Each structure stands twice: as structure tokens, then as C-alpha cells.
């Protein structure tokens, strides 16, 4: 990026190599200069992922979440979280692909927190656009969602929460685990054959590196069972937004060691806080024959209350 800025390297030469970057922002917390690499990567993709250089998959995803109508279609066949108005100031962001792939997550939140409002006609938060070459469009979508949800926006997706908070402000947006931890609500331990279940966690990269949220989900899980730290839980699982779709082989290589480690731990549950991580881990653990169940943190809490 510096070479391009200084005129030593043509911009087009950045495209092939930059496509290998996960965009996980793990370099940010350890950078002594405080470089916000995530922002630089987004701005670089604005300049490079244009025209024929924009992957076809990304173009298709943009269409899928480009309007409220299209987003509603994603969850049309799984409307588990119904429209609901509450007197409180908390609004649940359903997410685009989460409502289609894992609608049980929003259903769990609706069950354990009756004082949050849910609007089925909400649009996309814009994270997909911001991370894939349409930064300004992504910001506009975040502002629009914020205007439609006055008060606190509660997100069950680490990536969406990080994007929304960067645009709307940290005080307006709460990721589910940090919000629940602040409630200090008592939880019932989950048992199996009379013993506490073994639970691990896969961090959401943007949640941990972008918002600094990582202690809260661990504290919650420790109250639900025997918490076991997964080796390199803070390391990317290889999903990385569109990375798993654009770089399938490399994505699986990123996750390979983690799959082996999870298998050795013999966990009952592996908790996630982001739908991309959920899909990636479900797919690869099943492929490897690992019996550990991948489940969102909100679903675990709902399970403990049954």
C-alpha cells in the first residue's frame, strides 16, 4: 500500500496479493503504531475491486442484500423471529444471511429477552459492502439502519456489530455477548449425564480485534458449563466474510489445525458469535467427522433456560 501511495508500484499489482488477506484485523491490536489496517484494506478494495476486478460472487451478494425487499426474501421461509414492538429502547438486528441460514439465533434472543423490538422489514447493515469495495455504500446502509432503529441496536453478528459501531458510534451498538454480560443475569448450568457440558469458543475476528470484546463471551460460557479455551481461539477460522467463498482451499488450510485441536478437546459445544464462523465451523467439523455441536452463544443461553 505504501509503495502504491509513493508511486513505486502500480495499483493493479496489489489485486492478486491483497486477495489472500483474511481481513481479520489481528494485526491491529499488536501494531505499536496503531495502524488501522482494516480501514486501509477497505479503502484499497474500493480502489481495486472495481469493474471486472470485482469477484462475481461479491456482485451476487450485493444484489442479495441491496434492498429491504431482497433481505426480507432471505428470511421468508424461516420467519422464526416475528415482528414485535417493545417499550424498551433495544432493537434486534436480524442480520441478512444469519436470518436465512441460522434463524434459530434470533428466535433464541426473542425468547430470552422479551424487551427488545424486532422489525422484519429492516435492511442490511452494510458490512458486506464496506468490506468488499463499496465503503461509502456500506456507511450509508448503516446510517439508514440506525435511523430505522432509534436507541440501542443489538447484534448477534460480530462483523455486523463492528461495522455498525464504527459508523453509528460505540454507544449505539451492542454485540449480544457484551450486552448480556452487562445484565449480570443468573444462568442455569447445562449438564449432560449429570456432568457440566464442555464448552469452547471461537472468537469473531472483527468483534475481538475491532471492538475489543472477548472476555464477555468467555465469562458467560464459564457459567453455563466447563469452559475450555480452544487453542488459538482468537485466530481466524478462515471464514473471514467472503474469503471462504473466494479462497476456498486457503480458507480450509487456515482452519485445518483448529479442527484438529477441537477434535482433541472432545467438546460438547463450540460457541460462536458470528454467522460466518458458524457456517465455516459447522461445515468443516462435519467434514472431519467431529461430533462437537457448533452453536451460537444466544442459543446456548436459551437452552440453559429450558
Any domain includes 221: yes
79: pLDDT strictly greater than 60: no
pLDDT at residue 8 in the model: 75
Dump pLDDT digits (tens) for 276-296. Answer: 999 999 999 999 999 999 999
pLDDT at residue 264 in the model: 97
190: pLDDT strictly greater than 90: yes
Helix, strand, or coil (residue 228): coil
Average pLDDT, the chain: 91
Instruction: Record the cell numbers describing residue 292, joined without a space.
Output: 462437537
Q: If we measure between CA atoms, which residue out of 108, 119, 101, 137 comes closest to residue 276?
A: 101
265: pLDDT strictly greater than 90: yes
Any domain includes 137: no
How many domains are contained in the chain?
1
Give the pLDDT mean for 3-14: 73
Any domain includes 138: no
Do the Cβ atoms of 183 and 259 come closer than 8 Å?
no
Helix, strand and coil in the chain, % to nearest 5: 50, 10, 35
User: What percent of the chain clears pLDDT 90, i.e. is strictly above it?
Assistant: 66
Q: If we measure between CA atoms, which residue out of 162, 168, 129, 135 comes closest to residue 149?
A: 168
Any domain includes 158: no
pLDDT at residue 82 in the model: 67
Please, which pLDDT band fits residue 38 given cuts at 50, 70 and 90? confident
Strands 191-192 vs 195-196: parallel, antiparallel or unpaired: antiparallel
Q: What is the DSSP letter of 288?
A: T
For the chain, how big is the Rg over CA atoms in Å? 19
Task: Report which of residues 88 and 31 the model is more confident about.
Answer: 31
210: pLDDT strictly greater than 80: yes
Any domain includes 168: no
What φ, ψ does residue 191 adopt, rounded to 5°? -120, 160
4: pLDDT strictly greater than 80: no
Any domain includes 279: yes
How far apart (Å, rounded) are the C-alpha atoms in residues 306 and 188?
9
CATH code (residue 224)? 3.40.50
Give the pLDDT mean for 21-40: 89
Dump pLDDT digits (tens) for 100-152. Answer: 889 899 999 999 988 899 888 888 999 999 999 999 999 999 999 999 999 99
Helix, strand, or coil (residue 49): coil
The H or E element spanning position 33 is none
Long-range contacts of range 31-37, CB-CB < 8 Å, 24 or more positions apart?
none
Any domain includes 101: no
How far apart (Å, rounded) are the C-alpha atoms in residues 194 and 154?
34
- Domain span at residue 298 reads 183-304
pLDDT at residue 253 in the model: 95
Give the pLDDT mean for 203-220: 96
Any domain includes 78: no
The partner residues of 196 in beta bridges, in order of sequence, read 191
Do the Cβ atoms of 270 and 295 come closer than 8 Å?
yes
Among 113-122, 235-244, 258-267, the range scoring the smallest mean pLDDT is 113-122
Task: Report which of residues 79 and 269 the model is more confident about.
Answer: 269
Amino acid at each position: 500500500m505504501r509503495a502504491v501511495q509513493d508511486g513505486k508500484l502500480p495499483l493493479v499489482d496489489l489485486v492478486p496479493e491483497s486477495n489472500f488477506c483474511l481481513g481479520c484485523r489481528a494485526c491491529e491490536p499488536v501494531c505499536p503504531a496503531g495502524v488501522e489496517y482494516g480501514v486501509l484494506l477497505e479503502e484499497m478494495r474500493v480502489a481495486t475491486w472495481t469493474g471486472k476486478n470485482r469477484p462475481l460472487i461479491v456482485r451476487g451478494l450485493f444484489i442479495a442484500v441491496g434492498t429491504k425487499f431482497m433481505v426480507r426474501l432471505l428470511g421468508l421461509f424461516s420467519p422464526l423471529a416475528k415482528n414485535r414492538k417493545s417499550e424498551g429502547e433495544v432493537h434486534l438486528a436480524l442480520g441478512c444471511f444469519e436470518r436465512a441460514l441460522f434463524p434459530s439465533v434470533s428466535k433464541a434472543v426473542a425468547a430470552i429477552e422479551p424487551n427488545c423490538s424486532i422489525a422484519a422489514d429492516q435492511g442490511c447493515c452494510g458490512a458486506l459492502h464496506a468490506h468488499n469495495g463499496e465503503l461509502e455504500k456500506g456507511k450509508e446502509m448503516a446510517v439508514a439502519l440506525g435511523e430505522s432503529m432509534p436507541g440501542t441496536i443489538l447484534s448477534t453478528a460480530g462483523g455486523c456489530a463492528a461495522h455498525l459501531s464504527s459508523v453509528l458510534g460505540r454507544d449505539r451498538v451492542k454485540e449480544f455477548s457484551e450486552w448480556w454480560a452487562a445484565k449480570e443475569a443468573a444462568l442455569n448450568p447445562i449438564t449432560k449425564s449429570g456432568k457440566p457440558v464442555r464448552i469452547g469458543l471461537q472468537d469473531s475476528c472483527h468483534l475481538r480485534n475491532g471492538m475489543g470484546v472477548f472476555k464477555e463471551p468467555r465469562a458467560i460460557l464459564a457459567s453455563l458449563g466447563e469452559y475450555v479455551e480452544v487453542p488459538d481461539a482468537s485466530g481466524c477460522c478462515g471464514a473471514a466474510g467472503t474469503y471462504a467463498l473466494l479462497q476456498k482451499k486457503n480458507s480450509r488450510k487456515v482452519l485445518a489445525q483448529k479442527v484438529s485441536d477441537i477434535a482433541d478437546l472432545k467438546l460438547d459445544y463450540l460457541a460462536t458469535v458470528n454467522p460466518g464462523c458458524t457456517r465455516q465451523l459447522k461445515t468443516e467439523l462435519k467434514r472431519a467427522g467431529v461430533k462437537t455441536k457448533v452453536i451460537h452463544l444466544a442459543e446456548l443461553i436459551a437452552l440453559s433456560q429450558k
